[in-house]
Structure 1
Amino acid sequence: MKISRKTICDLVESKVREDPAYAAAMKKDNRWLQVNVAVMDTEAIIEKLRSFGVPFGRAQFEKDLRGMESADRLSTQWARLPTCTAKETDDDFLFLAAMELRKRLLPDLITPEALDDWMQEGYRLSKEGKPIEAARVWLKVWRAIQSRMTGTGHTTAEADDLVRGTQCVFNWCQDFQIELCNAGLKDPAFFRECAEYCRAFVETFSGEGDLLPGFRRYEVEARFAMGEREQAEGMFESLIREDRSDAWNYILWADQYWLKGGAQAHRDFARAEAIYLRALEEPRLDDTTAVHERLAEMYREWGKPDLAERHEMLAEEGAEDKDPGEPVFSITRGGGGEEEGLKVNRNAPCTCGSGKKFKKCCGRSR
């Protein structure tokens, strides 16, 4: 993953905010920061560029930036002009000015700097509990990435080379899926966006093997949420035919009938039970422990404590056989309280969809 000049600037800005001594040193050295340029009005930025020998004109700026699609490339070209007098720390101003003017004069132009800005804006909105706003911003990022990665067989590492941002695409693409689901809880139209995104992701990033099973299941879950139950059931059946050993194809299908089924009166415990038990009939199932765990949880909700205890014992026995002493954790997808917590054994596939075991992925910090 290539680190962009903008990412370096973001890291510097972060350290300035957190470390007073570092901030004082930057000020003493007259170093330019994004915050310094951001408070300048547009004409002041332009006049400062001209004072450094950059013959700035709005029409030429727009033409050059559209052609180069990068504030970094454009500022590098400015620095090489025979008339440019910017040296050392002033060279930073050229780049920061190009970024700031892109935001103001060409806000919709897609550049690596813009993609990183939009990614970070989405994370900020998500943290503020605004999933719809976050999803809308991230849809711009996704459409920009998709428009530049035609065909199939791509990997997220290739997308990293396009974005060159603070966040790696491998992580962001999963966060985006979760945010679309969270937005769907407030506006069901986003469930369709989620389904379409997951399908397009699988087609575009077919070289990203570890992520694909999770994204295929996420599409089906979104279609359940949209009310396309018959189609979604057929899609889960197809996933099982392709890989009968994958316990999570059964688990997430059964989950739709009780764990994500809304009010108690609308849950179909019997249907969920049938799918979980069907999974246990598969001799090559890769994670019987996870199925027993989910059955135990479901039976508790269903008011069948004896069956719940039985499957809890079976789950514990299975966990001990696989990895003695490994505990079971309760996690919540998305971290925003929008979805119910799911009990996940450390040997189970991580619910983030990475394809890795929980203990080697999100469970590392537990």
Structure 2
Amino acid sequence: MILPSVFKQIEPTFPAGLLDDPLLLVRVRATGRSLLFDCGPLHHLAKRTIKSIDAIFISHAHMDHFMGMDAFVRHSMVSGRVYDIYGPPGMAARMERKLGGYDWNLAEDFWSDLRVHEIHPTHFARTLFSGSQGFRGTFLGREERRDALIYANGHLQVEAALFDHKIPVLGFRITEKPGFQVDPKELESLGLIPGHWLQELKKNYYEKKLSLPIRVNTREGEKKLSGEDLYGRIRRESPCTSIGYLTDIGATAANFKQAGELFADLSLLICECSYLRNHKDKARRSFHLCTDDARKLAEKLRPRFFLPMHLSKSHLKHPQDLYRELRLPTDVTLLQLPSYQTPRPRLCDEIEPPTSWRDQEEKESS
């Protein structure tokens, strides 16, 4: 499911259905590269999509959020790149045990490296698993953590905070960086005529070369102007869009307070909603959210769009009840996932017996 086109530089896709193990793929349009949030089964993703991933962000190491790491390593190990993996405390030890389950005696010098960043409340702890060394881990050291920012490129940034699921769980906020935007009214007021120079200015913007002068077309003829000054005058300001990704947390005051701090002014909140109202007791015991909890969170945060996901398979026969129970504020648009992205196994009472069986039963009954 490709999510609403309110984003300019990124394209978020949620390849899992309502009942499947969650993963969020965020593609950067300008580069064709991607980020992956959670790493359950990757059977929804084509190999070329997996190979486009630069970094993986793991909320926690429960099997349904982490088991796809094997498939990722399998498809990326010979690319010769360094892949960044972000996770909660203990992630490096879990990666070491996962990678240690295989024999790597045929490792080559060109194999990829995996760089694991553990997100602690006060610091980062980094470990490198070198492909050429059979993914042997080397501790790279610690670095003080000054704020919520954990990752950034030229098009977006990722912030994170730790939540409680009876184990530390990371929630992530993905925010687009301001892109190249021009105000047509300013072009008109300055007497500028759109042309090839706009493409050159855009190229210089993304290559951080706005200091270069640029020749522009005006109603008075061609002029040579400072690129930085020019863009400052014709730039159109607009708010940066953002995505919140939150899964597997308890409905506690501390978790809701943390969510309020990390997820203020969101464009889209992708949020776990594991249980329906009548299974609230199960949600409390397992430290998950039910529909009432998700609705309260939506009322608190007021995102523009709200996508509930990760419904428990105990609701296999009536998944659409989730949407009927979620009565969101009128200024929050509810997005609905299909129950399944790939056909689910059929239940016993849904299987029609072969015609030959029915004929035999009719004969026996007569």
* TM category, shorter: under 0.3
Greater relative contact order (CA < 8 Å, ≥ 6 in sequence): 2
TM-score by length of 2: 0.24
TM-score by length of 1: 0.24
